[in-house]
Amino acid sequence: MQINDVTTLDRDGAIAIVTIDSPPVNALSATVRTGVAEAMAKAYADDTVAAIVLMCAGRTFFAGADITELGKPPIQPDLRALQRIVEDAPKPVIAAMHGTALGGGLELALVAHRRIAVPSAKCGLPEVKLGLMPGAGGTQRLPRVVGAERALEMMTSGEPIGADEAERIGLFDRLAAEGALREDAVAFARAVAAAGEPLEKVRDRPLTAEPGLFDAFRATHARRFRGLTAPENIIRSVEQAIPLSFEEGLTNERDLFRELLDGPQSAALRHVFFAERQAARVDALPKGIATLPVNRVGVIGAGTMGGGIAMNFANVGLPVTIVETRQEALDRGLGIIRRNYENSAKKGKLTADQVEQRMACLTGSLALDDLDDCDLVIEAVFEQMDVKQDLFRRLDAVAKPGAILATNTSYLDVDAIAAVTGRPESVLGLHFFSPANVMRLLEIVNADKTDPAVLATAVALARTIGKVGVVVGNCFGFVGNRMLAARHAQAEAVVNEGAMPWDVDRVIAGFGFAMGPFAMRDLVGLDVGWKREASTGATVREVLNEMGRHGQKTGGGYYDYDEKRTATPSPVAERAVFDFSAEQGIERRAVSDDEIRDRCLLAMVNEGAKILDEGIAQRASDIDTVWINGYGWPPYRGGPMFWADQVGLPVVLEKLNALAAAHGDVFVPSPLIERLVGSGKGFADA
């Protein structure tokens, strides 16, 4: 029987089966909730029904509340009302799970009387990743099932657990055979009905916690929770419920949830959730455009970048040929890859077999000709235009017709590289971020002549290798590095004018970045891209390089490092800063933290607006996605453009005008910002 568009109610003997089919993930939208409520009412009223199975069709059990509905006035029955309907059922309700039972989906399963799942199922409460907390009893029921400590770990990490683990800790009552969920759930329901046991409710179990658990938990995870508001509310929701009744605990949970839902961090993290998924939508591509087959990949260069890039494809079982110019470089590169995999195996992330399977995908070679059967070749050689152009000329002669030729350049002109080949339509940029086997961002540079099918293939491939692919236009530094250059220029300027590198790092790290720009430079190496023969002492960075201070690797750069690489502000660097200002004739002055933050971040926002206005980025949220996944912008601040909207573009415009008057044209507001302010809009509407 069809209850509504997404809900069916059918029978298997005395067992009623309520099935939801609401693609893509059976989110608990108003239509879904209404369907379940109506189906349950019919099943309750039917005396021939002994028990009810609640399950979903498609790829997963309910994957949570419908995130698009959050923050809007709830349409009844809201999730808690639906839970009461299920929890107070006059007959057993069995939740039958597959896919990922997440958030409100798991919270709904927790009010069922029994839970069964296939072995491949996962479950969890990932609300914290949205800046939220479980808002439908999860903080009250989960601890009653798995204990307070395990519940806190699950809710503050947001990470799902597998069905075996869920059964072991009592979250699932039993496992169904893979592919036989419906049959096994019906059989389980029959057995539960036949047993005629009282309908035990999770809410009736005691909620207890070891003395000192909550403060110990806070202390243990303080670093991970730094800057975040949701974890503390999750901990409080459990801690404060210990002396309360279940209903009082539920009310307290709702208040703590509402606090987060109304807060800036949840708005930012929900923005990020959808922004990352929207980035894969390329307006310039015709709908349903066919992609090209990629069954064999070539990577040129086995260094840090080339090795990391190659791992991405080996990870998904694609054969990769890695070409180097010298055997020892090739051996070293393959050795580092093996060590990376073996380290993952030591951490339990890979089995020994998987290590060998991945290594078996990798073939080393010293001959470019060995790339003649590759569908895609990616170069990761020295970042110099003539080197890359020469390579592409040779590659053009070797690669098979139709092969995609990609450059991993981080800021060079992709059109100029494509132009030296006879196949510019097959050339584009695939800008990976170091370490390329770890960083999620992939800037896909759509060059002037890149064929749409080639672009579509790159976008699909990004998803295949688990990257967040963002299509960007061809300009110096594309999106991320172009804005990074704007920030670096201001960071150096405020140091020349009166701040110290550690002041800038304190402000940027205090904003939520893992580390500031100068500490980052010390980590990467001040001498990256620096040549002694061309050095003229034109910046403090050059002066430090000329002194042999290349950062952590030489024990000192802007900071001095002890044997454990603990950083302390360097008196040598401080002296170099003072001397540099004096040589430049700059009268040093006090530079406030607010000025440091505004100059560094608003220079980025203004550059981002120009990038948007030039069409180098498709949408403002793509720029946010780039900075969150490639440059460590704190996700709970939504990205530079989202943050500017939260500050308010009128305020941003006013600050930019003031900064332009004091510090030059780099702060002259992008015309896009002026247009948006004039029309009362934000970057989200651009």
Determine the residue type at 500. M
Q: Are the beta carbons of 154 and 146 closer than 8 angstroms?
A: yes
32 near ligand T1G (CB under 6 A):
no
Q: Helical H runs in 196-326?
A: 213-220, 230-239, 246-261, 264-278, 304-315
25 near ligand T1G (CB under 6 A):
yes
27 near ligand T1G (CB under 6 A):
yes
CB of 450 to ligand T1G, least distance (A): 24
CB of 105 to ligand T1G, least distance (A): 7
136 near ligand T1G (CB under 6 A):
yes
CB of 141 to ligand T1G, least distance (A): 11
Residue with tokens 């709908």: 287
C-alpha span between 269 and 263 (Å, rounded): 11
CB of 207 to ligand T1G, least distance (A): 18
Q: Which is nearer to ligand T1G, 129 or 549 (CB)?
A: 129
Q: Which is nearer to ligand T1G, 125 or 601 (CB)?
A: 125
Of these residues, 38, 87, 107, 383, which one is catalytic?
107
Question: Element (H or E) spanning 97, and its range?
Answer: strand 93-97
Torsions phi, psi for 51 (to 5 deg): -160, 165
Q: Which is nearer to ligand T1G, 68 or 343 (CB)?
A: 68
65 near ligand T1G (CB under 6 A):
yes
Q: Which is nearer to ligand T1G, 134 or 301 (CB)?
A: 134
Structure tokens of 683?
A: 């970057």
Q: Which is nearer to ligand T1G, 134 or 638 (CB)?
A: 134
CA distances from 592 to 93, 115, 426, 507, 598 (A): 62, 57, 50, 10, 10
134 near ligand T1G (CB under 6 A):
yes
Q: What is the pattern of x (binds ligand T1G, CB under 6 A) and - over residues 34-63?
A: -----------------------------x
161 near ligand T1G (CB under 6 A):
no
234 near ligand T1G (CB under 6 A):
no
Query: What are the strands of the beta sheet with 376-379, ordered from one edge?
Result: 362-365, 320-323, 297-300, 376-379, 404-407, 427-432, 441-445, 468-472
Q: What is the pattern of x (binds ligand T1G, CB under 6 A) and - over residues 264-283?
A: -------------x------
CB of 99 to ligand T1G, least distance (A): 7
Q: How many DSSP H helices and E strands does the chain contain?
A: 27, 20
107 is catalytic: yes
100 near ligand T1G (CB under 6 A):
yes
C-alpha span between 190 and 85 (Å, rounded): 21
* Options 22, 32, 66, 428; binder of ligand T1G; rule CB under 6 A: 66
Contacts of 78 (CB under 8 A, 6+ apart): 33
* Options 87, 127, 443, 492; binder of ligand T1G; rule CB under 6 A: 127
- Site residue total, ligand T1G (CB under 6 A): 25
Q: Binding segment for ligand T1G among 128-136, 242-250, 294-302, 519-527 (CB under 6 A)? A: 128-136
Contacts of 184 (CB under 8 A, 6+ apart): 116, 176, 177
459 near ligand T1G (CB under 6 A):
no
Torsions phi, psi for 22 (to 5 deg): -130, 85
CA triple 178-348-350, angle to 5 deg: 70
Torsions phi, psi for 108 (to 5 deg): -70, -40
Neighbours of 657 (CB within 10 A): 14
178 is catalytic: no
Binders of ligand T1G among residues 71 to 90 (CB under 6 A) are: 79
Structure tokens of 206?
A: 């005691």
Of these residues, 87, 127, 492, 542, which one is catalytic?
127
430 near ligand T1G (CB under 6 A):
no
Q: Binding segment for ligand T1G among 122-130, 243-251, 350-358, 539-547 (CB under 6 A)? A: 122-130
CA distances from 466 to 153, 435, 599 (A): 25, 14, 34
Burial degree of 363 (CB within 10 A; 0-12, 13-18, 19+): middle
107 near ligand T1G (CB under 6 A):
yes
Beta pairing, strands 404-407 & 376-379: parallel
253 near ligand T1G (CB under 6 A):
no
- Helix 138-146 with 246-261: angle, nearest 10 deg: 130
Which residues belong to the active site?
A: 107, 127
Query: Which residues lie near ligand T1G (CB under 6 A)?
Result: 24-25, 27, 63-68, 70, 79, 100, 102-104, 107, 126-127, 130, 132, 134-136, 138, 277
